[in-house]
Amino acid sequence: AQRVTQPEKLLSVFKGAPVELKCNYSYSGSPELFWYVQYSRQRLQLLLRHISRESIKGFTADLNKGETSFHLKKPFAQEEDSAMYYCALKARDNYGQNFVFGPGTRLSVLP
Amino acid sequence: NAGVMQNPRHLVRRRGQEARLRCSPMKGHSHVYWYRQLPEEGLKFMVYLQKENIIDESGMPKERFSAEFPKEGPSILRIQQVVRGDSAAYFCASSPGLAAPDTQYFGPGTRLTVL
């Protein structure tokens, strides 16, 4: 079964501290993973995807197939990083592709 | 480019009524996805459409829910005989399809409240 878990519903850190938002997945195929972010009163938007191996707004995420994880990290959190973060898995089945989202983690960066 | 548009932003219906949610994809996008977000939960995939075709409806409830994406006009998510459990935020996303299959642009969502 395809599943994405984000164990923390809420994560609070102080400005300048490192932050790690955890994401684990279960999928029998070759996974494609994404992080989406939703800032307050804004729409959901793509933050980064593992195939690009990019760093966006200082965030990085490495796919660890052995641990089936795709944790999102940033060395120094900023107040403007406060938002809801969703980890997503692109899954394929007999019908095509769809996205499986985790429940989300609310990141609160304190001054 | 105005981005993905959804209307209405808020919709209130009484039990038994019909709800119609509209999604206008970004210009040039031919693929539309619908997601539902129940309170305190993450996004759940419902259906994936191309123009005039349903590609994947594995996330759609078997009854009362239907979706279409006609050749002209917005994509419509239709919920017949709504019940309280249908209260949720419904998000639409569009993508260019084969040109950039991994990228989805999300609309602001429609918040449905069933009284």
On chain A, the residues whose CB falls within 8 A of the CB of B56 are: 93, 95-98
Query: At B93, which amino acid appears?
Result: A
Least confident of A1-5, B51-55, B83-87: A1-5
Q: Which residue has the tokens 């899954």?
A: A91
Asked if A98's CB is within 8 angstroms of B48's CB, the reply is yes
- Residue range B57-62: mean pLDDT, rounded: 88
Taking residue A57's Cβ as centre, other Cβ atoms within 10 Å add up to 11
Q: Which residues of A touch B59 (CB under 8 A)?
A: 98
Which residues from A are below 8 Å from B48, CB to CB?
96-98
Question: Tokens standing for A90?
Answer: 């692109």
Digit-coded pLDDT (tens) for B10-36: 999 999 999 999 999 988 888 899 999
pLDDT by position in tens, chain A (length 111):
778 899 999 999 999 999 999 999 998 888 889 999 988 877 778 888 887 777 789 999 989 999 999 999 999 999 999 999 999 988 766 555 567 788 889 999 999
Residue of A nearest to B101 (CA): A97
Distance, CA of A98 to CA of B56 (rounded, Å): 8
Ramachandran category for residue B18: left, alpha or beta (phi over 0 → left; psi -120 to 50 → alpha): beta
CB–CB of A101 and B43 under 8 A?
yes
